[in-house]
Amino acid sequence: MKEHILIVDDEESSRELCRVTLQEPERDITMCSDAQEALDELGRKTFDLVLTDMVMPGLSGLDLLERIKAERSDTSVLLMSGKGSISAAVRAIKLGAEDFIEKPLPDPEVLALAVKRALKARRLEQENRELRRQLKNLKGEPVLIGGDTFSRVLRIVEQTAPLDTTVLITGETGTGKEVIAKRIHSLSNRSGQPFIAINCGGLPEGLLESLLFGHERGAFTGAVKRTSGYFEKANHGTILLDEIGDMPPNLQVKLLRILQEKTFRRVGGEKDIEVDCRVIAATHMNLREMVNKGDFREDLYYRLNVINIDLPPLRERDEDIPALANHFMRITAAKMRKPVSKIDPEAMEQLRKYRWPGNIRELQNVLERAIALCENELIKIEDLPSCIHNERGEKIRRPEIKFYNQAKLQFERQFILSALKASNYNVSAAAKASGIPRQNFYLKMKKLGIKSANSLQ
């Protein structure tokens, strides 16, 4: 692509010297003898750079600089002057000039380097502007890309969003449950109000209760002031309770009260607080089975499961993988400022064959890794992790993927039994030794079918 340069100087010899110095095969150079002629030329044509003398009859170089920056701010401007001063140079830079060069030129190479720097800076600015535009266009959540399988989910989302009912989103880890919850919120009448998400798993019961419902001053050690919880902060908006299956029984009761009566009390509080927020719950667990085992309240389950949106795993959406992969490629390449723009057909085929135990989240991570390692514009199969491009590695992984949940439960059961045995079957001691809150330890025993510690002795 040619670089278009405009030289403005009332001295013909100076114009010609600049032209000879800057002339290159990929450059188109135009010359003008005064600022007005230059403005006329700028009205007819776009220039990458204007090189102008400071002192000329009529409009000065500074006047021309001001006009250019007001009308064509992306055009780079360099000023030259044989009567320069520090104050003039400072003013030129403040007005937006890329550089200020004194005349006569001690060495033509000084001018050539200044022009080269200015043109490079302009290219970088244009690239940054294009990257910002791409990122703005790509800000839509990639999980919302889908063929026939996922289109059914999106239709339910669009039908559900305007309603004010509770929603239960189910699906494996990484399928995009939080993204779907945000989409419901953004399409709802509450879209202008807060959206707050909290993961109910892995938090001690006391901390989770305080986060959700807030606490009064002095409610517990360290509670030095009244603090609002997430339900208060989400008032008139939407709250997402992720991994709802991990919520302890005592908090399930408090949540049920909010759903039934729209009121709750802070920890340590005696006053009922009214709240109006839409509740969306999400889980990778089978809550129906948990209800049957007594691990989850049945009345709460029915309150949450008014509308169920079940997200299919990525392995059941292989027709969506090319669109998702290309989306992640474009947005990641823009963020990393790399020229990657294509995925080799062989690499794409392997992406479609892979089982994706981590679902969309894993696909995104794989594309980020591939782009980081890619040395040109094409992602090749060698840029993908070995588990994807190595057929043997894929076959080894499949049994692990298929029986992952069983293996996890088996490990948890063995871990709990070992902790109990090491603590002489004292549940409190076992919970403390394993770093699991006592209430959660009981829940895990129940979930894993360990009826009582005494029965194991």
Looking only at the bridges linking them, the beta strands covering 378-379 and 342-343 are: parallel
**Nearest residue to 188 (alpha-carbon basis) of 239, 225, 251, 138:** 239
Fold of 164-311: Rossmann fold (3.40.50)
Q: pLDDT for 178-224, tens place per residue?
A: 999 999 999 999 999 999 999 998 889 999 999 999 999 998 888 88
Contact 48, 76 (CB under 8 A): yes
Judged on CB neighbours under 10 Å (0-12, 13-18, 19+), 9 is: buried
| For residues 91-112, average pLDDT | 85
Q: pLDDT for 230-272, tens place per residue?
A: 999 999 999 999 999 999 999 999 999 999 999 999 999 999 9
What is the full DSSP assignment across 308-371? Answer: EEEPPPGGG-GGGHHHHHHHHHHHHHHHHT----EE-HHHHHHHHHS--TTHHHHHHHHHHHHH
Are the folds of 3-137 and 164-311 the same?
yes
CA distance 160 to 151: 14
Letter for the amino acid at 322?
Answer: P
CA distance 321 to 36: 57
Name, in order, each residue with C-beta under 8 angstroms of 95's C-beta and a sequence gap of 6 or more.
62, 65, 66, 69
φ/ψ bin of 222: left (φ > 0), alpha (ψ from -120 to 50), beta (otherwise): left
Q: pLDDT for 161-176, tens place per residue?
A: 999 999 999 999 999 9
Letter for the amino acid at 110?
Answer: V
Letter for the amino acid at 101?
Answer: I
Domain 315-398: which CATH number of 1.20.1090.10, 3.40.50.970, 1.10.8.60, 3.20.20.70: 1.10.8.60
* pLDDT number for residue 407: 72
CA distance 53 to 158: 61
Contact 267, 204 (CB under 8 A): no
Buried b (16+ CB within 10 A) or exposed e, 168-179: bbbbbebbbbbb
**Global pTM value:** 0.59
**Nearest residue to 273 (alpha-carbon basis) of 284, 258, 288:** 258
Letter for the amino acid at 56?
Answer: M
Name, in order, each residue with C-beta under 8 angstroms of 289's C-beta and a sequence gap of 6 or more.
none
What are residue 342's DSSP bridge partners? 378
Letter for the amino acid at 34?
Answer: D
* pLDDT number for residue 456: 53
Contact 316, 352 (CB under 8 A): no
Looking only at the bridges linking them, the beta strands covering 263-264 and 273-274 are: antiparallel
Question: Comparing 139 with 398, which gets the higher pLDDT?
Answer: 139
Fold of 3-137: Rossmann fold (3.40.50)
**pLDDT band with cut points at 50, 70 and 90 for residue 445:** confident
Q: Where are the domains of the chain?
A: 3-137, 164-311, 315-398, 404-456
- Residue 79: CB atoms within 10 A of its CB come to 27
Q: How far is CA 104 from CA 5, 82, 98, 319, 374, in A?
A: 20, 6, 19, 66, 47
Instruction: Specify whether domain 404-456 bears CATH 1.10.10.
Output: yes
**Nearest residue to 325 (alpha-carbon basis) of 316, 314, 336:** 314
* pLDDT number for residue 140: 47
| Helices H / strands E in the chain, number of each | 20, 14
**pLDDT band with cut points at 50, 70 and 90 for residue 405:** low
CA distance 256 to 19: 80
* pLDDT number for residue 390: 65
